[in-house]
Structure 1
Amino acid sequence: MKVPTTHDHPDGVAAGIVAGLERILAEPQVDAHAIAFIAHSTTQATNALLEGDIATVGVLLLGGPVVRAFARFAPFALAEGVQFAPRWYDGRDPAALDAAAAGGVDAIAVSDAFGVDRPQREAALVGAARARGIAATSGAEVSTQYGLRARTRTAALNAAILPRMLRTSRVTARAVADARIPAPLMIMRSDGGVMDVGEVERRPILTMLSGPAAGIAGALFHENVTDGIFIEVGGTSADCSVIRRGQPQMRPAQIGGHRTLLRTLDVRTIAVAGGSLARLQHGRVVEVGPRSAHIAGYHYAAFTARETIASARADLSAGVGALVAADGTRIAVTPTCAANALGAVPQGAFAAGDREAARAACALVAAELGTDADALARAILDRASDRLRATIEELIADYGLDPATVVLVGGGGGAAALVPYAAQRLGFAHRIARDAAVISPVGVALALVRDVVERTIVDPQPADLARIRREAIDAAVASGANRDFVEVAVEIDTARNRVRATASGATAMAQDAGGSATAGETERIAAAAEHLRERAADVRIVARTPGLLVAAGARELAVVDARAVVRLVLPSARARTLAAGTVADALPREIDDATTFGDVGRSLPDVFLLRGARIAEFSGMAEAAQIAGLVRDELDGVDAAEPVVVVTVTKRA
């Protein structure tokens, strides 16, 4: 169900969310009390920053001249004609909050040089500001990484969107409460997880790229993409991202060209999509996009009545492939129209329109260019494919993918107009995701609660890693995850002395609503074979837990859950089933057997521990004792007889 975006409403886009919710609940078959999970993705944070629609921010620095020198940053551009230039105050001054309020500040960011380790002073000022009704945040709330200037910048940007996001989240949460829906409201994060509305009120900046993240979550959990390039195609732009071994790829976020201490999905957005205008020059198509038909006020030819097309004449005066109908309607020949004209849109796809109307429009424009309808349509799709090619090749190079095995997976309403043609022309396998047109809301519905804890620690000891792991679990639980189903991945970046723990899991209500439907063993092996690129007959089961199955091909292992979703594909891996009580004694030998040695020293394996339906990952460890400590923490309190699987992944030294 769709409702128009309510940009001009006093409640902003929240009014549209409420309207959509009310229409859904008006359906007689929908029981509000039976709703187990409610979440939404939003581009409001991103749009506010990119459009410069931000609050006036006051930054309160806790420290002397040295702190001020290292924390302050110069103004920088967020949007055309909009500079982000917060006002600076000495947070040690008892009158600083009064001065900020009197100076017209809408939101406060507090930053302390030692806030990562000792956040109490930051928290006290934030609490005082909130008690006065001023939106406030701190460096420690948005990041636990060192780097004073980057952390201060991140906190200030968080404060810049805080008032607007507070209004939106509270209006939406109130509508959910008024509807007597028992499920908590969750919001999509930019790393593909969700968090509760309370967390959004503290850290709205974590919702950057929330919209694209929802599509990727849909590809992961609904379409079961383990390896590929996911391309979500809308009307104006296409978002391209890599899914590798069942995981989306992440990178540090930059805003206004400046580094922040946020990790977001690596989404490459290009200004070409199903509704892009074909730009003409010297009688030929020279580019497709960035302007789109609906923004420029054109109708799509493929979705225009044939009689309207029949009354039209070609109008190339604006430098785009377009028509003007007898009634003044402006009609564009978009990539969607070109694909329909060539019969390249799969039957039943959301992008499927009237092929005859599209061909007639192409013929009218082509005649003005001295060519034919098919040639024009191919030229439009070729130029669009060229735009995709550059980004696809960039992703392949950045992530070391094998071009021969790359699969393009299309999502979004415009996917069927671009992805099949581009894949064939560029030489890639492809498929259109199930429910492609609504892959984003499906992804929101299926996404897991997620939280990330990062620390800068030189030579982390097992106790440090266990503490950070538990902190990540507690954060995910605080955001709504069911503690019994939280999975944790712990990574160590030895080059940067950084430890990262990512905890994710479903809410208790969503877990209960998921039911207990399981796939048969044949179906699970078939899923593994597909991702291992082997014949099912050549795939063998090498280990299992009550909720997970490990299948081996000639070169890789696949971990498949009870729903036949492939959770991991691991090269150079070995799996062994053990009783939980024997893991501590067996683990050193498993690690030794998978350790490699080279000119630069030894390289310990990545280790995965499978228990029930849970997967714990321990990557980048420098010492076997670190792995052992984390595994011991994971198995604390587990029945000694419970079967678990230890998977070691050998790395090059």
Structure 2
Amino acid sequence: MTTHRIRVGIDVGGTFTDAVAVDATTLELLGQVKVPTSHHHEDGVAHGIVEALGRLLEQTGNAPDDVAFLAHGTTQATNALLEGDVATVGLIGIGTGPGAALTRKLASLSKLELTPGKRLPLAYAHVGDPDDAAAVRRAVDEVVRGGAEVLVATQPFSVDRPEGEEAVLDAARGRGLPMTAAHRITSLYGLRKRTRTAVVNAAILPRMLATADLVDASITKAGVTSPLMVMRCDGGVMSLDEMRRRPLLTVLSGPAAGVAGALMQERISEGLFLETGGTSTDISVVRRGRVAVRHATILGKTSYLSALDVRTVGVGGGSMVRTDGAKVTAVGPRSAHIAGLPYACFATAADLAGAKLATVRPMDGDPADYAVVDAAGGRFAITMTCAANALGRVPEGDFARSDQAVAKAAIAPLAAALGVDVATAAARVLDAGTGQVKAVVDAMIGDYRLDKDTAVLVGGGGGAASVTPHLAAVSGQEGRIARHNEVISPIGVALALVREQIERIIPGAGQEQILAVRAEAEQAVIAQGAAADGVEVEVTVDPQTNTVRAVATGASELRTQDRSHRADDGERLRAAAASFKTDPGEVRVLATTASHTVYGTEVHHRFRADRHPVRVVDADGVVRLHAPDARVETTTVGAAPQVLASLVDESTSYGDGGVRAPALRLLIGSRIADLSGVLDPQPLLALARGELGTRAAAEPVVAVVEART
């Protein structure tokens, strides 16, 4: 049953602000509104956020105190960097001797290009002794005279010895300027990259602080008592206080909202999310139930900002067709929106009377081969959406659905020029457009070693139907359009989990150090409001870079979904069989917990050892874990340490590459604890003991163990 409690997600875009209300129990979409983004209001985007919230509450009949969770995503930080609308940074370098020369070179960060012809405004000053308060004050005076609106302190090796940077901030505190230290932004080594990341963060800090204060005050004034959360660029959300400290985490967060929606609403465990708008498609990866992230490139340089690995292709629902009169040569990158033309498929039959094919040059410098139709109602663009509708690829009720007969009439002049029927012409248009997308999809499948047979394609965004269904058809992969695809981004904001990532470079990290990094990540999300008993932490140890990384996620309040729509045994079995691509009769149950069922089958090979693929299916019938060849053991919390020690010992490999413990995952209660990122057996077993820590000795535990080749 539903409750009156709701989760609200607000996505602040460049043109519109979209907001949705989701039932906090069933996660059902209850309402959605769209208002113009209020860039030019005296309260900035905060005004549009509050306006959207007010309309949403009115639409759903909820009161402000019914809001259990409120989060917003914003492109403000990204736009500030793209437009060069940033504050002047006062950078104070610290050090004496040889280290001082390296630090003084950081003054060259003023050469970072924001936009063509516009560089990062930066004033640099140096202090030898950070404990010399008078010298620090003189350095602050120097950068303030240079226009500094925000301060950054940086020193070599501050990750290990932060006292110098902190001393500079203490001495500068009376100036009333926002300030930060490089070690507070990232704890990774590399003076220049660490400082560059901190400086870019500082450049957007004053503007983001002002916006945060306005949004916070406006939401409080509206009567909402739940804490306000902000979308991060890695698919999670953070507290407003954390955003005030590290606004850089909101840069590149636009695509993250959509993939968060796909992850939480569509329950993807392995696949690709394609968010298609009018002009482009953003492609991202979900692997083993988690979004793929990497260190982002900002202002043309790599940073220590972990952001969604999203790759953009210039093909969207409004992308225009290009032709040489004999064949379809390409689709895009120009769209109907850029050309200022309506989509032909959204015209009326009368508008398209007497339609003739013509080609145009959408913008100066473009080739003059973009196809349009000139008809009784004017000039119209032939787009990917027109072709998808002509082939019946757009589902009923979809945002991009048009009358199929009109869509066919829109394609007919092109078909006549090509000497083919309408269906063939439409297919050639979609082939040209999705071919560009497929190249990127195939590359990402290879990069992340996804199993192409099980990786699902999920389309989101208003233009999803113009790309995903056809791509799935031609590639032979499973594909679907996300429910409520046109508002998948604000849904993602509403459903996103609190997330924190802690990275440390620790040569030869032992189990105590690894456990300490894990605990730091766990406490960070709890401090931001995540319920302690629902936090999951994934730990990865990279022996090549000596990086220990812990990613913690958790819900800001425990969500209890409606139990009335759970999959029965038959549905779960069929889901597993479909994932294995085999008959249900060939699948057997290997283990069960209250929340998951583990299925296995056998794959026989003539010339090599048999494989034992495993699938873990949750109570909704969603495959949450794919293992191509694994061993499954059921034990209890009390017996687990000894059982796991034996399993790990038996499955650990030794070779020229060193010791490689197996990939271990534990099913405990409602969770899948993924410990596969640790290669050393002893820290792996220590982490496993930590996962079992406070649970009852008789509670069942299922171990899924994959030996590494």
Cα deviation, 1:183-213, whole Å, max 9, x if unaligned, reads 2111121111111111111111112332211
Single out whichever of 201-210 and 129-138 deviates more from structure 2. Answer: 129-138
- 2:87–2:121: 8 Å Cα contact kept in structure 1? no
Does the residue aligned with 1:503 lie in a helix, a strand or coil? strand
How do residues 388-467 of structure 1 correspond to structure 2 at under 5 angstroms?
Answer: 388-467=437-516
Amino acid at match of 1:68: T
Residue in structure 1 matched with residue 371 of structure 2 by the alignment: 321
- Say whether residues 1:543 and 2:591 are aligned partners: yes
Question: In the superposition, relative to structure 1, how do residues 622 and 197 fare at CA in structure 2: closer, same or farther (>3 Å)?
Answer: same
Q: CA deviation at 1:491?
A: 1.0
- Separation in structure 1 between the aligned mates of residue 241 and residue 306 of structure 2, nearest angstrom: 20
- 1:332 and 2:367 equivalent? no
Contact persistence 2:321–2:330 (CA under 8 A): yes
State the one-letter code of the partner of 1:519.
R
| 2:353–2:376 Cα contact (<8 Å) kept | no
1:519 maps to which residue? 566
Map 1:186-335; keep pairs closer than 5 Å.
Answer: 186-281=229-324, 285-310=328-353, 316-318=359-361, 319=368, 320-323=370-373, 330-335=379-384
**8 Å Cα contact 1:110/1:155 also seen in 2:** no
Aligned twin of 1:107: 150
Shift of 1:505: 0.7
Aligned AA for 1:429?
E
Cα displacement (A) at 1:9: 3.2
1:40 partner SS: strand
Using the TM superposition, name which of 271-280 and 98-107 deviates more: 98-107
Counterpart selection for 1:358 from 404, 407, 415: 407
CA separation in 1, counterparts of 2:661 and 2:675? 11
Q: Which residue of 2 aligns with 1:49?
A: 81
Which residue pairs with 1:596 in the alignment? 653
For 1:543, the aligned partner's letter is A
Q: Distance in 1 between matches of 2:673 and 2:405?
A: 54
Match of 2:684 in 1: 627
Matches of 2:516 and 2:699 in 1, distance apart? 25
- SS of aligned partner of 2:380: strand
Residue identity opposite 1:591 in structure 2: V
Q: 1:226 touches 1:531 (CA, 8 Å); kept in 2?
A: no
What residue is the counterpart of 2:90 in the other structure?
58
1:352 Cα shift? 0.9
1:24: Cα distance to partner?
Answer: 0.9
- In the aligned structure 2, how far is the partner of 1:526 from the partner of 1:283? 47
> How far has the Cα of 1:335 moved from its partner?
0.7
Deviates more, 1:117-126 or 1:480-489: 117-126
Secondary structure of residue in 2 paired with 1:39: strand
1:263-288 deviation line (CA, Å, top 9, x unaligned): 22211111110011234456654332
- Mean alpha-carbon deviation: is it higher for 121-130 or for 211-220? 121-130
Offset at 1:598?
Answer: 4.0
Structure 1 residues 188 and 592: CA distance shift in structure 2, 3 A: same
Change (3 A) 1:306 1:533: same
Deviates more, 1:438-447 or 1:281-290: 281-290
Classify 1:103/1:517 alpha carbon distance in 2 versus 1 (closer, same or farther; 3 Å).
farther
SS in 2 for 1:308: coil
| Cα distance in 2 between the residues matched to 1:70 and 1:572 | 52
Aligned residue type for 2:144 = A
What is the SS of the residue equivalent to 2:36? coil
Q: 1:305-339 CA deviation, whole Å, 9 max, x = no partner?
A: 33333387655342322346667x65321111122
Q: Do the aligned residues in 2 keep the contact of 1:129 with 1:135 (CA within 8 Å)?
A: no
What's the TM-score, normalizing by structure 1?
0.92
- Confirm or deny that 1:83 pairs with 2:154: no
Q: Could you say which residue in structure 1 is the equivalent of 2:555? A: 506
Please list every run of 5 or more consecutive structure 1 residues that lacks an aligned counterpart in the other structure: none
Q: Which residue of 1 aligns with 2:19?
A: none
Would you say the 8 A contact 1:492–1:619 is kept in 2? no
Q: Could you tell me the TM-score, scaled by structure 2's length? A: 0.85
Distance (whole Å) between structure 2 residues aligned to residue 3 and residue 71 of structure 1: 43
Deviation of 1:476 after TM superposition, in Å, equals 0.9
Q: Deviations over 1:463-490 (max 9, x none)?
A: 1111111101111112221111101111
Cα distance in 2, alignment partners of residues 307 and 34 from structure 1: 49
Aligned partner letter, 1:559: V
Determine which of 34, 45, 57 is the counterpart of 1:25.
57
Q: Which of 606, 628, 631 is the aligned partner of 2:663?
A: 606
Distance in 2, Cα, partners of 1:276 & 1:136 = 44
Is residue 567 from structure 1 mapped to residue 624 from structure 2 by the alignment? yes
**Matched residue, 1:169:** 212
AA aligned opposite 2:114 = L
Distance 1:466 1:13, change over 3 A: same
Which letter maps to 1:142?
A: I
Query: Any conservation in 2 of the 1:491–1:620 contact (CA below 8 Å)?
Result: yes
The separation in 1 between residues aligned to 2:583 and 2:203, in whole angstroms, is 54
Once the two structures are superposed, what CA deviation does each residue of 1:440-459 show, in whole Å capped at 9, x if it has no partner? Answer: 22222221111011111111
Task: Supply the distance in 1 between the matched residues of 2:47 and 2:337 (Cα, whole angstroms).
Answer: 22
**Any idea what SS the aligned residue of 1:239 has?**
strand
| Matches of 1:223 and 1:269, distance apart in 2 | 21
Aligned-partner residue type, residue 661 of structure 2: L
2:699 paired residue among 636, 642, 646:
642
1:494 to 543, 552, 564: 543
- Compute the displacement of 1:154 (Å): 0.7
Give the distance between the partners of 2:342 and 2:285, measured in 1 at CA.
33
Contact residue 119 and residue 140 of structure 1 kept, 8 A: yes
Q: Separation in 1 of the partners of 2:405 and 2:568?
A: 47
**Does residue 13 of structure 2 align to residue 15 of structure 1?**
no
Percent of counterpart pairs with the same letter? 44
Partner SS, residue 467 of structure 2: helix
Aligned equivalents of 1:367 and 1:647: distance in 2? 58
Partner of 1:586: 643
Equivalents in 2 of 1:450, 1:396: separation in Å? 25
SS at the partner of 1:644? strand
- Report if aligned partners of 1:245, 1:570 keep a CA contact under 8 Å in 2: no
Aligned CA-pair RMSD: 2.7
2:296–2:306 CA contact under 8 A, matched in 1: yes
- CA distance in structure 1 between the aligned counterparts of 2:236 and 2:349, rounded to whole angstroms: 45
| Structure 2 CA distance for partners of 1:637 and 1:225, relative to 1, 3 Å | closer
Number of residue pairs the alignment of both structures matches:
649
**Structure 1's 565 and 373: CA in aligned 2 closer, same or farther, altered over 3 A?**
closer
Moved more, 341-350 or 181-190: 341-350
The answer (yes or no) to whether the contact 2:659–2:680 under 8 Å persists in 1 is no
Cα distance change, pair 271–51 in 1 and its aligned pair in 2 (3 A): farther
Over 3 Å counting, the alpha-carbon distance change for 1:129 and 1:285 in structure 2 is: farther
**1:506-537 deviation per Cα after TM superposition (whole angstroms, max 9, x unaligned):** 012xx146466672551444444443444444
